[in-house]
Chains A and B, each alone.
Chain A
């Protein structure tokens, strides 16, 4: 990033290749390194009920062996030059990404292309990964934060695909065979709707040419249409569940409701409202009430997971088991105040200047810019989005925040999950 501007139409190169890959590139000659990141639509939404976790296992297998290189050779090429690269499963997509010194960009491109097009899925590695994955699930079972989140999702998303985490369960992970992984890869991996962002010390034309050479002739006629997720009604009444893990000193608490989607008109108002509620300063009004004034928790904050589907708007806190009810009451009180009185002019103005002022920091690094480019593409935003952003923030009014808060926040329909002793 230079002083002059945020990324915009005049310095982002966006090219669609013939096979459906979109390449976004922004040059930064101030940096000695380069970031390559992107995604394609083969995420955990494509998991079947019997094989939950298959998207994740498939992504993890891509670098376990390719037609030319075995596992050790793949990582030897990367680690020898201090580069990193990997694939991982999200809900909608498989994400990939890595970074290297500028001189090693072509290595990242090779990793991407070989992983996507020439994986051999060696059986030995599938079994090794399975053991690692099962051990990960066993540790998750002991993690109060993870289990509070899982329990929360089960309450809020009963009968909706979002109730699954993408990690699968011990039973479904055991059920995944090598043929399943092969089939998943053959069916779902393809160039259509794939996005690649390259940021760093490289001319855009050069980056696009390299990607075209590696992936321009990739085709997969079997690739299915992009997945969509159904809408989801709010809970009919408040539901509270506890997940017991003996021997723990602290209880994790997660409570919330459905929130807006990223592309909803009221997203920015909700986002600023959320910032006032549970982020700004030392975690907004929630942090002030639960941590600062009452000393009940080390952390207490609110988040919004606004994406393509019905995301959650929720509060998280870690509290002593004896104080769980008190913390829940305090949080509900804050939510009630929020929908009763809305936000003050001063709070709104403070949060607007926070949003606008913190933009340079979020766009400081190559990876920050790469994330921004992928966000622009994922939500079909204007290439000048980050230049328009300050005006979009300034335009939000107190009334809009009150309206969006009342639309989503219904204390009588809260999902409340706790995990602890």
Chain B
């Protein structure tokens, strides 16, 4: 299996990562922009995600109805994601057809129309997307818990944005956001699959090299101050099920503590998979599953963090057993956290976490799309070396490190605990 990796930066600032993989006649191409909900201020929440939607609405060269058909016609898949730190667009195509995707991405990096009628129609689509999320109790709970965790930092709001802003933002707001952040010097292109590096590099230069760099976009710098104490909140809604979300401040992906925390995550909540494509494994032997689900305080639990640019959150979600109280589950959670803070974990447990991570990476490597994803994702918050040295960094973690970070980050006084309490109003379906 050939795997040749190249990283370069074009004169206009576009960062380019190429990885040859010749196991299947496919290529996955991604363009990443350093813009997400992290770059949004009050009044404009959700603007990055809305701009992402508008990127599918056409340019003079590729009108809206041409685009999706052209990709699908060739048997490709394409999609886009807006997240905290980034907005990304990808196409995975039969290898000989990838050129269309490259042309399209070069074009919509600067020529999207943002037609006012399309903006109006997309407004209701996005409002509908938000209404769909609001149907879920967990969305409601996590939105309030997240907002309470970040009073100052723009990680405060959900990527979809607040309804007030979705109703009031204008076409010009969207266009300005697009023009500020969509430029080669604010973008990363990652391509993996069945190509020759020299030829691909030449083609990318032809298509993207002439796009002018833009002034560096203005960055919001509003670090979250230290929490002044534990916060408890309640969200009420329909249903019969009580949910609890406990959120602890968690460091950015480039913090050296990220690796011992990843081991800790594996022990506490079960190994998290960071793969976008490739899935994960069960968590039934994790400490929290044993303390919460096996004891029937909850009927389910999950926990995990994300690799982010600024410090974000470690979220633990518990679905409370119908016959138990949320406080009982929270007390059991605290007992487990205290245990990992006071009793040193074994070398064997650390080695187990490393093997789990190895397996998850192996599964993810089967997908060319996932390989290209990793190159860009890591480049957003660090660089591809972060990915390549991840296993070694995990393997270097000692039981002392795990204990230290457990004490440092899993403190009651800095967490937010949100509870979704069902209020009983009867549906009438008879």
Whether A30 lies near B75 (C-beta < 8 A) is no
Whether A244 lies near B131 (C-beta < 8 A) is no
| Chain B neighbourhood of A379, CB < 8 A | none
Whether B128 lies near A1 (C-beta < 8 A) is no
Whether A353 lies near B73 (C-beta < 8 A) is yes
Whether B428 lies near A244 (C-beta < 8 A) is yes
Shortest distance from the beta carbon of B286 to any chain A beta carbon, whole Å: 8
Whether B120 lies near A365 (C-beta < 8 A) is no
Q: Taking A101-B358, A319-B128, A320-B128 as contacts, is the C-beta distance between A248 and B135 under 8 angstroms?
A: yes
Query: Main SS of chain B's interface residues?
Result: mixed
| Chain A neighbourhood of B135, CB < 8 A | 143-144, 248-250
Query: Is there a chain A Cβ closer than 8 Å to B396's Cβ?
Result: no
Shortest distance from the beta carbon of B64 to any chain A beta carbon, whole Å: 7
Say which one of A17-25, A72-80, A397-405 lies at the interface with B: A72-80
Shortest distance from the beta carbon of B325 to any chain A beta carbon, whole Å: 15
Query: Is there a chain A Cβ closer than 8 Å to B25's Cβ?
Result: yes
Query: Could you say which of B281, B321, B366 contacts A365, with CB atoms under 8 Å apart?
Result: B366
Whether B26 lies near A360 (C-beta < 8 A) is yes
Complex Cα spacing A86 to B279, Å: 14
CB-contacts of A273-320 with B (<8 A): 280-282, 288, 291-299, 318-320
Whether B239 lies near A138 (C-beta < 8 A) is yes
Whether A250 lies near B300 (C-beta < 8 A) is no
Whether B241 lies near A139 (C-beta < 8 A) is yes
| Chain B neighbourhood of A84, CB < 8 A | 279-282
Complex Cα spacing A1 to B94, Å: 14
Query: Is there a chain A Cβ closer than 8 Å to B23's Cβ?
Result: yes
Residue of B97, B123, B127 with most chain A CB atoms under a 10 A cut-off: B127
Q: Taking A243-B429, A357-B97 as contacts, is the C-beta distance between A366 and B322 under 8 angstroms?
A: no
Hey, what's the 0/1 contact readout for A101-134 against B, CB within 8 Å counting as 1? 1000000000000000000000000001001101
Whether A358 lies near B321 (C-beta < 8 A) is no
Query: Is there a chain B Cβ closer than 8 Å to A2's Cβ?
Result: yes
Complex Cα spacing A292 to B57, Å: 9
| Chain A neighbourhood of B26, CB < 8 A | 360-361, 364
Identify the closest chain A residue to B271 (Cβ). Answer: A82
Complex Cα spacing A333 to B129, Å: 24
Whether A72 lies near B366 (C-beta < 8 A) is no
Complex Cα spacing A83 to B281, Å: 7
Shortest distance from the beta carbon of A49 to any chain B beta carbon, whole Å: 21
CB-contacts of A115-173 with B (<8 A): 128, 131-132, 134-136, 138-139, 141-144
Residue of B360, B368, B427 with most chain A CB atoms under a 10 A cut-off: B427
| Chain A neighbourhood of B92, CB < 8 A | 361
Whether B121 lies near A293 (C-beta < 8 A) is yes
Whether A354 lies near B73 (C-beta < 8 A) is yes
Whether B366 lies near A31 (C-beta < 8 A) is yes
Hey, what's the 0/1 contact readout for A46-86 against B, CB within 8 Å counting as 1? 00000000000000000000000001100110111111101
| Chain A neighbourhood of B127, CB < 8 A | 320
Identify the closest chain B residue to A250 (Cβ). Answer: B131
Query: Is there a chain B Cβ closer than 8 Å to A230's Cβ?
Result: no
Identify the closest chain B residue to A137 (Cβ). Answer: B240
Complex Cα spacing A81 to B134, Å: 38
CB-contacts of B272-310 with A (<8 A): 279-286, 290, 293-294, 296, 299-300
Identify the closest chain A residue to B57 (Cβ). Answer: A292
Whether B75 lies near A297 (C-beta < 8 A) is no
Q: How many residues of B contact A (CB 8 A)?
A: 82
Q: How many residues of A contact B (CB 8 A)?
A: 71
Identify the closest chain A residue to B359 (Cβ). Answer: A82
| Chain B neighbourhood of A197, CB < 8 A | none
Query: Is there a chain B Cβ closer than 8 Å to A33's Cβ?
Result: yes
Complex Cα spacing A318 to B69, Å: 23
Identify the closest chain A residue to B239 (Cβ). Answer: A142
| Chain B neighbourhood of A99, CB < 8 A | 363
| Chain A neighbourhood of B360, CB < 8 A | 82
Say which one of B10-18, B349-357, B406-414 lies at the interface with A: B349-357
Hey, what's the 0/1 contact readout for B231-245 against A, CB within 8 Å counting as 1? 000000111110000
Query: Could you say which of A143, A292, A353 contacts B64, with CB atoms under 8 Å apart?
Result: A292
Q: Taking A71-B284, A295-B124 as contacts, is the C-beta distance between A139 and B239 under 8 angstroms?
A: yes
Complex Cα spacing A386 to B71, Å: 22
25 A-B pairs within 8 Å (CB atoms) are namely A71-B284, A72-B294, A75-B282, A79-B286, A79-B356, A81-B356, A82-B281, A82-B358, A82-B360, A131-B323, A135-B241, A246-B238, A248-B134, A248-B238, A250-B132, A250-B134, A280-B69, A280-B72, A295-B122, A320-B128, A350-B72, A353-B73, A353-B74, A358-B75, A364-B366
- Top 5 nearest A-B pairs (CB, nearest first) are A357-B75, A82-B359, A281-B68, A295-B121, A247-B238
| Residue ranges of B at the interface with A (Cβ–Cβ < 8 Å) | 1, 22-26, 56, 64-65, 68-69, 71-77, 92-94, 97, 120-132, 134-137, 194, 237-241, 270-271, 279-286, 290, 293-294, 296, 299-300, 319, 321-323, 352, 355-360, 362-363, 365-368, 425, 427-429
Having A245-B427, A360-B25, one finds 20 other A-B pairs with CB under 8 Å, namely A1-B24, A72-B284, A75-B282, A79-B285, A79-B352, A82-B356, A83-B281, A101-B358, A135-B319, A142-B137, A142-B241, A248-B135, A249-B134, A288-B65, A292-B64, A318-B131, A353-B74, A357-B75, A357-B93, A357-B94
